[in-house]
């Protein structure tokens, strides 16, 4: 695609009807707050293993973590799931192979690939997942209620009013002064449903990072539509 934004990016996409998928870029990126979907999936797997539902406190934390990207809630649930080791074990069960939890409590510095984030989306939205139907529905519902102002990203590739489910992440790196900006989710475009993951880093500010992610999402979905035609 022709780019007019700074930064580097990777993108992965799945057409849920045909099962066809494609990816661009294989290197790892910081997750920033998209890891909150992984934290919630890990929490739900833990609850499934313990044959219980989430506690009221866990539900409250999960809600603000996904809908409002609350960092305090993410830190609290990170401790509940056993930190990086707990995340890594759960992500492995969900089919992820190149995701490693951030150490020393730094969950936002979890490293991942676009392809792995697509695998996570398949675990949330697809069949044959270690997540049961109730757990999948719970994550989807929260991703469908992300607060206004945090609903940019892969939604740029969706039809107007299509009800995108997503989670975004953004993080200025103190070591470089540059930004990590990511977006993962389910979008509907031209009557087809896609799972899309876009990861980026090296943007000079959040706005240019968002523009890069949205441009990549639109290009990926557009290319998928062209190949289908």
Span 71-108, pLDDT tens digits: 999 999 999 999 999 999 999 999 999 999 999 999 99
pLDDT band of residue 18 (cuts 50, 70, 90) is very high
Question: Does residue 2 have a pLDDT over 50?
Answer: no
Measure Cα distances from 98 to 34, 89, 115, 220 in Å: 15, 12, 9, 22
- Residue 6 is predicted with a pLDDT of 84
What residues are paired with 24 via a beta bridge? 11
- Residue 227 is predicted with a pLDDT of 66
Q: Are 160 and 136 spatial neighbours (Cβ–Cβ below 8 Å)?
A: no
Q: Over the stretch 167-193, which tens digit does the pLDDT of each residue have?
A: 999 999 999 999 999 999 999 999 999
Percent of the chain residues topping a pLDDT of 90? 93
Question: Does residue 13 have a pLDDT over 90?
Answer: yes
Question: Which residues are CB-contacts of 45 (< 8 A; sequence separation ≥ 6)?
Answer: 90, 93, 94, 130, 131, 135
Question: Does residue 1 have a pLDDT over 50?
Answer: no
Question: Does residue 17 have a pLDDT over 80?
Answer: yes
Q: What is the mean pLDDT of residues 38-49?
A: 98
- Residue 28 is predicted with a pLDDT of 98
Averaged pLDDT score across all residues of the chain: 95
The continuous run of DSSP H or E covering 24 comes out as: strand 21-24
Using DSSP's 3-state secondary structure scheme, residue 171 falls into strand
- Residue 225 is predicted with a pLDDT of 78
Q: Over the stretch 122-161, which tens digit does the pLDDT of each residue have?
A: 999 999 999 999 999 999 999 999 999 999 999 999 998 8
Question: CA 71, CA 95: separation in Å to the nearest integer?
Answer: 26
What sign does the dihedral 125-130-133-137 (CA atoms) show?
Answer: negative
- Residue 110 is predicted with a pLDDT of 98
Q: What is the mean pLDDT of residues 8-32?
A: 97
């Amino acid at each position: 695609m022709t780019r007019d934004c700074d930064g580097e990016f990777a993108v992965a996409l799945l057409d849920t009807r045909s099962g066809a998928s494609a990816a661009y870029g294989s290197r790892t990126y910081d997750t920033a707050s998209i890891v909150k979907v992984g934290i919630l999936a890990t929490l739900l797997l833990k609850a499934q293993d313990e044959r219980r539902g989430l506690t009221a406190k866990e539900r409250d934390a999960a809600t603000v973590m996904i809908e409002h990207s609350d960092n305090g809630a993410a830190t609290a649930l990170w401790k509940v799931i056993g930190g990086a080791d707990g995340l890594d074990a759960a992500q492995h069960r969900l089919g992820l192979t190149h995701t490693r939890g951030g150490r020393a409590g730094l969950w936002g510095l979890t490293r991942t690939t676009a392809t792995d984030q697509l695998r996570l989306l398949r675990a949330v939205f697809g069949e044959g997942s270690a997540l049961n139907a109730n757990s999948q529905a719970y994550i989807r519902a929260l991703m469908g209620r992300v607060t206004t102002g945090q609903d940019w990203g892969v939604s740029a590739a969706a039809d107007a009013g299509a009800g995108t489910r997503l989670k975004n992440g953004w993080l200025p790196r103190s070591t470089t002064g540059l930004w990590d900006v990511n977006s993962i989710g389910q979008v509907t475009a031209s009557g087809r449903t896609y799972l899309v993951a876009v990861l980026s880093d090296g943007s000079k500010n959040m706005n240019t990072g968002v523009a890069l992610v949205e441009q990549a999402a639109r290009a990926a979905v557009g290319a998928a539509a062209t190949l289908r035609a």
